Structure 1
Amino acid sequence: MKNWIGRLLGGAEKETVAPAPVSATLTFDDARTMATEVQATYYRWLTGSSRCTASPEQEAQILREVRSLAADPVCASGLVPRIPELIAQLLTSLSDENISTGALSAQVGRDLVLVAEVIREANSAYYRPVTPIETLEGAVTMLGLNGLRMLLARIAFRPLLRVTTQGVARQVAPIVWKHAERCAFAASVMAPGLSAGVFEAYLSGLMQNLGLQVAFQVADRVCEGKVPGSGEFGIAFFAASRELSSVIASHWDFPPDVVKAIAHAHEPEGSHPAQALALGDRIATLRLLLDAGVIGDDDPLVMQGLNGFERRCLGKLLELSE
């Protein structure tokens, strides 16, 4: 696992993205209150009918067990799958900035499923090609090295977050993955305005939910097929799962900025990468809540909680391919 992370980071292109202003219309306390409300609302919606009235002892046991896993990175990292070898080989090739489009196309062409993913991405609303792209080489040219790297990162993380276990973890897995994709995109858009690395922000967005899937397996076991229903527990649950994600990221030799961003994203004085991740997380969460009809476009969490640039990013998330 450590080797593919190094390959993934080895050839990152420099991004030239317009700086993103951070929210400035709210006081810090108001912004934090809104961020907390977003998390609590998301937890209640995410868990849906799987929520139960858990005892304080059950809630404490779940949080204790998740934090215990965070203290044992070897055990924690062993609870998630590994990535396909072909993806690791492609990431090695992408670290060579001099590699030709033809050579990349030849490697991608070894897997028909991957070919379809690359062509679909190049034709997505995000890239908006003038005419439909039908060839693999044309798709690779459209994406560019960095676009292909981000696509491969998503493909690499997908099996890690789409768990095969039963119960609540399996039920929420599709939404957790959808959130991770949108969080990665939004965090990468917020990064330049905060002097944070774009690709590192993207990785932190994909990575932060990894511990959440493990945490849901713990909660499912303790509550016998259910999870505690309160939003207050949900906030503590998310925090404990992010700690678990950061520990796994450190064990896998992710860059320190990624590890720290995940660990400190919702703290008052987080680093710039942590702030980028926190904003990306909030924007992605609001997008899911809007799409599900839980909140409306004119909800204060959107109109007061985000500035104009952040709301444009929120709208851009609609263009991400499903």
Structure 2
Amino acid sequence: MGYWWRFFARERGPATPAPRPAALGRDTSASLDDTGLRSLTCNDVEERFHRFILNLPVNAGDHANLGREQVLLQRLGELCDSGRFDVRTLPRMPTVLPQLMRAMKSDNLNGAQLANLIRRDPVLVGEVMRVTGSVAYRTAHPIGSLQHAVVLLGQVGLRHVVSVYVMKPILMASAGANGQVIGQRLWDHAERCAHAAVFLSKGQCDPFEAQLAGLVGYTGLGAMARLLDKDLGQSLPACSPAFIAGCARIAARLSVQAGRHWDLPPVVLDALVEHAETMPEAMEQPMSRVLHAAQRLAMCQQLTEHGLLDGEAGYTDNAITQFPAQLLARCRQDLRQNFAQP
């Protein structure tokens, strides 16, 4: 799987890390785990992560309105569970994507067969031709066909197109005043989560399906952002940890609805369902455990990059510690090497 690291370690533009809030310095109450990293509770890290993604205030302070929050959560839950949430408002995923992901697992497929799959989706055809027409792929002779373009890209390049030029627009499509910020943060997490999921998938589940699960695992947060900012038409100057946790639970159910709408592979959809309905420590499917661990490691990496988590902080819960400590430490180090900002 060595090519996966080159695949995900693409060029990333320089970014200026956000200043570290004083309230989020080193957690001195945490203990040391056997990886030598400082451990935080899962609730602490998840709350910080969801506040960051949704662009909500870091701390509720004394301004959280619990009554208003309960009303908002009830309305959000009703939209999600009563069938009133219109899945057609979700960004479009090419119907050929799951088939293409499965096809790319085979080393026997030739360029003509892959081109025939891609040809079913005009948008994907356009992206393949656009990328191969760029300076990076420019050749002495013009690219005369889709098959020529697919062969020029190769499987690694084709996976790059599938992830960046298909999944990124989906996650970047969050509506509202904060849509661009939230969409970029969702995509940044998806990149890191997919990378970690592939790293942890060996001996557990199919790496291609693990990659897809990592990319789509938090799509419900984009829908949540739209509901908060557009459909409900309400702003949240401050909010409590309970409200953040409630939003996260509803977002997980929206991720399941998105997965069904997109006709994701059954094993990926089952993992999303288990995440929405089962406590992490009770997860039974290998894909679910891989996704959970990858999401948490990606959370730590992203928060650290933005100064919202101590760089030495670890992340432990009963589910993630089902993986060997050394494997988790290697995965985290790999995330740092591939994604840490200079």
Q: Normalising by the residue count of structure 2, what TM-score does the alignment of the two structures yield?
A: 0.65
Whole-angstrom distance in 2 between the partners of 1:307 and 1:172: 32
Q: Matched residue pairs, number?
A: 283
Q: Aligned match of 2:50 in 36, 43, 50?
A: 43
Partner residue in 2 for 1:63: 73
Whole-angstrom distance in 2 between the partners of 1:178 and 1:239: 21
Counterpart residue identity of residue 262, structure 1: L
Counterpart residue identity of residue 77, structure 2: R
- Give the aligned CA root-mean-square deviation in angstroms: 4.4
Give 1:269 deviation, angstroms. Answer: 0.8
| Consecutive unaligned residues in structure 1, runs of 5 or more | 1-12, 18-24, 121-131
Give 1:41 deviation, angstroms. Answer: 1.8
Q: Secondary structure in 2 aligned to 1:268?
A: helix
Whole-angstrom distance in 2 between the partners of 1:97 and 1:36: 42
CA distance change for structure 1 residues 253 and 49 in 2, over 3 Å: closer, same or farther?
Answer: closer
Q: Aligned match of 1:198 in 171, 196, 207?
A: 207
Q: Aligned match of 1:100 in 110, 122, 129?
A: 110
Whole-angstrom distance in 2 between the partners of 1:316 and 1:16: 12
Q: Secondary structure in 1 aligned to 2:235?
A: coil
Give 1:300 deviation, angstroms. Answer: 4.2
Whole-angstrom distance in 1 between the partners of 2:155 and 2:104: 15
- Which string of whole-angstrom CA distances, capped at 9 and with x for unpartnered residues, describes residues 105-160 of structure 1? 8979x96754565799xxxxxxxxxxx976667763361xxx73464144322222
Higher helix share: 1
CA distance change for structure 1 residues 117 and 270 in 2, over 3 Å: closer, same or farther?
Answer: farther
Partner residue in 2 for 1:268: 281
Moved more, 275-284 or 177-186: 177-186
Partner residue in 1 for 2:227: 218
Counterpart residue identity of residue 198, structure 1: P
CA distance change for structure 1 residues 40 and 113 in 2, over 3 Å: closer, same or farther?
Answer: same
Q: Aligned match of 2:177 in 153, 167, 180?
A: 167
Counterpart residue identity of residue 334, structure 2: K
Q: Secondary structure in 2 aligned to 1:258?
A: helix
- Which string of whole-angstrom CA distances, capped at 9 and with x for unpartnered residues, describes residues 159-207 of structure 1? 22112622234431110111112112212221224x2232222222222
Give 1:228 deviation, angstroms. Answer: 4.7
CA distance change for structure 1 residues 118 and 181 in 2, over 3 Å: closer, same or farther?
Answer: farther
Partner residue in 1 for 2:9: none
Aligned partners of 2:174 and 2:222 also within 8 Å: no
Partner residue in 2 for 1:4: none
| Consecutive unaligned residues in structure 2, runs of 5 or more | 6-32, 140-148
Aligned partners of 2:190 and 2:216 also within 8 Å: yes
Aligned partners of 2:105 and 2:208 also within 8 Å: no
Aligned partners of 1:67 and 1:240 also within 8 Å: yes
Partner residue in 1 for 2:217: 208
Moved more, 162-171 or 86-95: 86-95
Q: Aligned match of 1:246 in 256, 266, 271?
A: 256
Q: Aligned match of 1:291 in 295, 305, 330?
A: 305
Aligned partners of 1:188 and 1:199 also within 8 Å: yes
Aligned partners of 1:73 and 1:248 also within 8 Å: no
